[in-house]
Amino acid sequence: MTVTTTTSGKRSTQDVSNWLVGWIHRHLGIPAESFGIACDLRDLAMDSTESLLLLEDIRSEFGVRLRPIALVNSSVWRLAGLVAERP
């Protein structure tokens, strides 16, 4: 994925959304359309509480726990990756 940055040098909200949708599809084989929350993934760049709820929804629905890694900044998640843990 080509990462576009904002003028502040941070990833744009849409980039984070696209990155996560792609990651879930590549690593878990789950197309974003199948769980109907692609539009909500933009929350990952906006609010960490909403982000945690979204990851919990994925765990509940598919039995896969997604653990974010390399979180920095208290207001914006800058994800370096995710770890998928299957029960």
Given this model, what pLDDT does residue 32 score? 62
Given this model, what pLDDT does residue 22 score? 74
Pick out the chain residues at pLDDT < 70: 1-20, 27-28, 30-52, 54, 62, 64, 66-87
Given this model, what pLDDT does residue 57 score? 72
Residue 11 CB partners (closer than 8 Å, separation 6+): 3, 4, 5, 19, 45, 78
Distance of alpha carbon 14 from alpha carbon 47, whole angstroms: 14
Given this model, what pLDDT does residue 34 score? 60
The counts of H helices and E strands in the chain are 3, 2
Given this model, what pLDDT does residue 43 score? 44
